[in-house]
Chains A and B, each alone.
Chain A
């Protein structure tokens, strides 16, 4: 089974703090993704990476950056956290086969910015 783990289930930070969210997958997948989920808005893609040291902006990259130094690890960075970044953050990974793009998700990190 694919396993995607996220460093924290719950996190509380203060406005202006730098926040790191870590994600690790154990299936040697090339692709990794960061989403945020908000009520009534579904899952929105923040950033994704299709290879080590590669990154692409998703639909809502503003206020975020990412790092992928190793294939299995993808980090989301909030340079200066703001209250509107309070959300559920979800990491996912996939192996693009050319036919299917099934993504497998971690358990999520509920981030609260005070």
Chain B
């Protein structure tokens, strides 16, 4: 049973426009959420995170929104650049569990065209 779902396997956006990547979760114990970016043949790179006590976190062109009641989070990239083309993974953690493990979604491949 998938606890973290990224329902869009891929997304295509034009350079300069907004990219919105979505993620849903089912486990109400999750209280910390992260986004990772992964290029082919490289390890994932941490991008941005949000704690469940917040509903928004911003870092430059990247903003993550959390809607706890809907168990939904989204990553906004504005403006999108060709270098943003990568696979984006959503991950979640239950920090009260005692172990710091992450549960990952299956990823969304973002393609930003010039």
With known contacts A45-B101, A107-B42, A108-B43, A99–B106 Cβ distance under 8 A: no
B99/A50 in contact, CB under 8 A:
yes
We find that the number of chain B residues with CB closer than 8 angstroms to chain A is 23
Q: Which residues of B contact A43 (CB under 8 A)?
A: 44, 89, 104
A107/B43 in contact, CB under 8 A:
yes
Q: How many angstroms between the C-alpha atoms of A102 and B46 in the bound complex?
A: 8
Contact of B99 among A42, A56, A104 (CB under 8 A): A56
**Which of A11-19, A67-75, A77-85, A90-98 has 4 or more CB atoms under 8 Å from chain B?**
A90-98
B101/A58 in contact, CB under 8 A:
yes
Q: Which residues of A contact B80 (CB under 8 A)?
A: none
Contact of A102 among B34, B43, B101, B107 (CB under 8 A): B34
Q: Which residues of A contact B104 (CB under 8 A)?
A: 42-44
Q: Which residues of B contact A105 (CB under 8 A)?
A: 36, 43-45
Residues of chain A whose beta carbon lies under 8 Å from any beta carbon of chain B: 4, 9, 31, 33, 40-45, 48, 50, 56, 58, 90, 92, 94, 96, 98-108, 110
Residues of chain B whose beta carbon lies under 8 Å from any beta carbon of chain A: 9, 32, 34, 36, 41-46, 49, 51, 89, 93, 95, 99-102, 104-107
Sample of 24 A–B contacts (CB below 8 Å): A4-B43, A9-B41, A42-B89, A42-B104, A42-B105, A42-B107, A43-B89, A44-B104, A45-B101, A45-B102, A58-B101, A90-B43, A92-B43, A96-B100, A98-B95, A99-B32, A101-B34, A101-B100, A101-B101, A102-B34, A102-B49, A104-B46, A106-B43, A110-B41
